[in-house]
C-alpha cells in the first residue's frame, strides 16, 4: 500500500511565524504535490514537483515555497504565516510519466493549520 505521511495533523501558529509542513512518501513516486482545501472550494494546487530539486508553481503559489531535496520528501513552507492561510493542507504523490493520471494520486491524511 502506498503511504503518504504528513508530519503534523493539527497546528496552530501565530501570524508572521514561519511554518514547515513535511510530507514523506514510501512508493518511490516521481511526482509530489501540495494542495489546500477550503470549504466550498475544490482542492487547489499550490506547488508540485516532478523530480528532486524540481518544482513548479500551481494555481495559488503566493505566500508559499517548497523544497524537495530527496525524492521521498516534499516540504511546504509558509515564510510568514497569515490568517488567510488557515486551511487544510494535503500532500499527495503519484508515479511520473505516462502512468500519472487522476486515478494514480495518493494523499496524506492532511494537516489542519490555524493561523491566529
Partner 1 sequence: RKEVEQDPGPFNVPEGATVAFNCTYSNSASQSFFWYRQDCRKEPKLLMSVYSSGNEDGRFTAQLNRASQYISLLIRDSKLSDSATYLCVVEFMDSNYQLIWGAGTKLIIKP
The residue ranges that bind partner 1 (CB under 8 A) are 40-45, 90, 100-103, 105, 107-110, 112
DSSP string for residues in the chain: ---EEES-SEEEE-TT--EEEEEEESS--SEEEEEEE-TTS--EEEEEESSTT--EE-S--TT-EEEEEETTEEEEEESS--GGG-EEEEEEEE--GGG--TTS-EE---EEEEE-
| CB 30, min distance to partner 1, A | 14
| CB 42, min distance to partner 1, A | 4
Q: Which is closer to partner 1, CB of 28 or CB of 59?
A: 59
Q: Which is closer to partner 1, CB of 39 or CB of 69?
A: 39
Q: Which is closer to partner 1, CB of 51 or CB of 79?
A: 51
| CB 40, min distance to partner 1, A | 6
| CB 2, min distance to partner 1, A | 11
Q: Which is closer to partner 1, CB of 39 or CB of 84?
A: 39
CA distance 34 to 23: 9
Beta bridge mates, 6: 23
Amino acid at each position: 500500500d502506498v503511504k503518504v505521511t504528513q508530519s503534523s495533523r493539527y497546528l496552530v501558529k501565530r501570524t508572521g511565524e514561519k511554518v514547515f509542513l513535511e510530507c514523506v512518501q514510501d512508493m518511490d513516486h516521481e511526482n509530489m504535490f501540495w494542495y489546500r482545501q477550503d470549504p466550498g472550494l475544490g482542492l487547489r494546487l499550490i506547488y508540485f514537483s516532478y523530480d528532486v530539486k524540481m518544482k513548479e508553481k500551481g494555481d495559488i503559489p503566493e505566500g508559499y515555497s517548497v523544497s524537495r531535496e530527496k525524492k521521498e520528501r516534499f516540504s511546504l513552507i509558509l515564510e510568514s504565516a497569515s490568517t488567510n492561510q488557515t486551511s487544510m493542507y494535503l500532500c499527495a504523490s503519484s508515479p511520473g510519466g505516462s502512468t500519472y493520471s487522476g486515478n494514480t494520486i495518493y494523499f496524506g491524511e492532511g494537516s489542519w493549520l490555524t493561523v491566529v
